[in-house]
Amino acid sequence: MPIVVAGSINVDLIQSVEALPRPGETILALASARLPGGKGANQAVAAARAGAAVRMIGAVGDDESGAWMVAQLAAADVTTKDIATIEGALTGAAYIAVDRSGENQIIVASGANTSLSPAMVGAVADTEIRVAQLEVPVATVATFFAAPGDGQTRRVLNAAPALPEAISLFALTDILIVNQHELAVFLDLDRPPSTPQEALAARALICRENQLIVVTLGASGAIAVRADSAVHVPAFPVVPLDAIGAGDCFVGALCAMLDQAGEAGVTDEGLLTFASAAAALCTQKPGAIPAMPLRSEIEAFIATHVTGSRPI
């Protein structure tokens, strides 16, 4: 059965600049690029490249960008029959300015993503893994997760961007994935956790039996937290070229590993190792979707880079 991703589909319009503009200032870009993006689309492609069968539920506008995005997803072997074209709407877009130091400014125009309604996501009873993010309406994600399933159904929420009202979704979620900044929002912390030990605060978000909370910590790796256990996997030692999409790659690869493990199952350490390796590889190429690695590349990378893990 396929992984089903319900989420955002955006066009990333990236402008490389010498320095970010000040208020009221007009500057010229050094270079421009149009790349496929959106957290939902990124995660769908990451899972497909990592070997899973993936179906995307989303919405685009009836513009050239919408047709282009659907074609990009189809070319990545993502099933696109459930992507709706919204008449009169513009496809979602992210306007990104990046300076020479890597600092950026981003404005997201949600466009057609806001039209992804609960009625569009209810027919998922035949799927074992459902994946969602928070760039589409919270009510839509709630319907997506609440649709009937069976004992094998897993609901994976990447709670990004961090919307406090999305806490109501956590009780519907089997695996919750956040980064340290999002964790700080949901727990109302003074600052994001910077160590695996500090990130154990994520245990406070557990609200159902056998729930798994995954916290990514950038250069400090990632942790998997359950009610009675926790494991830390260090980050793979790479020098990032471009970190755009790495978090989405982590989510998609984790879901692909969960899917392919089947009834045999996979350890929390195994999930984190595979997802972390995929994310590390993603940072070695520019862009998000163009940088998502193949399963064979992930496995080869793991075979030559041992990070180890430990309980915390």
Distance CA 82, CA 280 (A): 31
Distance CA 257, CA 175 (A): 13
62 catalytic per annotation? no
Residue in 119, 121, 120 with CA at minimum distance from that of residue 131: 121
For residue 81, the tally of other CB atoms under 10 A from its CB is 9
Distance CA 206, CA 189 (A): 17
Of 12, 63, 174, 248, catalytic? 248
Asked whether the beta carbons of 41 and 69 are under 8 A apart, the reply is yes
Residue in 217, 255, 235, 222 with CA at minimum distance from that of residue 45: 255
The encoded tokens of residue 237 equal 């030692």
Give Cα 161 to chain centroid, integer Å.
Answer: 10
Instruction: List, by residue number, the catalytic residues.
Output: 248
